[in-house]
Amino acid sequence: MPVPTDVQRLEERLARAERALRTIVGAAVAAVLICLGIATVRSQSASPPTVRAGSFELLDSSGRVRGRLSMKVWPSESTPEEALELFDEQGSATVRLTGGTSGRSGPTLSLFKGDTTIQANVIDPETPSIVIMHRNAKALTVDFSAGRGALALNGASGGRVMLDASLPSVSAKDQDGFEVDMGSAAISTPSTGAKTTTSAASVMLFDKSGRVLWSTPR
């Protein structure tokens, strides 16, 4: 029987080392694939994180608060209401959106610029309204009721002009209470309490107590 030479022994050792290396590499590749598969399944099944807080604030580059989302408690209310507010550089509110859950009003969007406020709300689903007013209540106020189809202009002195498409009618009332109605109007007779509605081709003059001074057609 021939005796293995040194070269043959070296070849056998290299062959065994090569088989062992292949086994190790194969096991490592299998382990990597298994780990990647587990990570993929976990990433697909994991729910996105939920962030909860009492309020969120948006800051500008100078650290000033420019926006806030919070549960706000108004001075006249005890129930908190969800509110989103945006502020200018001086800290004055420019936009305010509230959910109307405090019972104070329905969902409301308010825009502020200088002394003017534009406010849209839905206190009653049947009569959503838009109000334009002066912050100190000393200027013209415009009240538009979308559900009813009515537009009211309120002067600082107490006068009022109203266009009502639901009747339809146009009315004007001064600060002393005297009024003129053109178009349909709902009136009541004080002596009998009977209520009637005039036609659109009507003009009526009222004194400050609501009594008819003159009307046509008679």
User: Which residues are CB-contacts of 122 (< 8 A; sequence separation ≥ 6)?
Assistant: 100, 106, 107, 108, 128
pLDDT of residue 11: 62
Q: Following CA atoms 35, 38, 39, 40 in sequence, which dihedral angle do they give, to the nearest 10 degrees?
A: 120
Residues pairing with 206 in the sheet: 179, 212
| 74-80 own/partner pairs: CB under 8 Å, 24+ apart | 74/102, 74/104, 76/104, 77/102, 77/103, 77/104, 79/103
Delimit the domains of the chain by residue range: 8-41, 56-216
The arrangement of secondary structure in 56-216, i.e. its CATH architecture, is Sandwich (2.60)
Residue pair 169/187 in contact (Cβ under 8 Å)? The answer is: no
Say if strands 93-98 and 141-145 run parallel, antiparallel, or are unpaired: unpaired
Amino acid at the residue 50? T
Q: Check residue 50 and give its pLDDT.
A: 82
Distances in Å between the alpha carbon of 119 and those of 77, 123, 166, 188? 19, 12, 22, 34
Task: State residue 1's pLDDT score.
Answer: 47
The β-bridge partners of 119 are 110, 131
Q: Which of 170, 174, 171, 180 is nearest to 159 (CA)?
A: 174
Question: Residue 156: how many CA atoms within 13 Å on its side-chain side?
Answer: 8
- State phi, psi for 181 to the nearest 5 degrees: -120, 130
| Per-residue confidence (pLDDT) for residue 188, from 0 to 100 | 72
Rg of the chain's alpha carbons, rounded to an integer? 39
What are the pLDDT tens digits along the chain (218 aa)?
Answer: 454 565 566 566 666 666 665 676 666 667 767 767 776 766 665 567 788 888 899 999 999 999 999 888 777 677 788 889 999 999 999 999 888 765 556 788 888 888 788 888 776 666 667 777 765 655 567 777 766 788 888 887 888 898 888 888 999 999 999 999 999 877 776 677 778 888 888 998 999 988 889 988 85
Q: How many CB atoms lie within 10 A of CB 44?
A: 7
Whether this model's pTM surpasses 0.75 = no
Q: Amino acid letter at 113?
A: K
Q: What pLDDT score does 170 carry?
A: 92
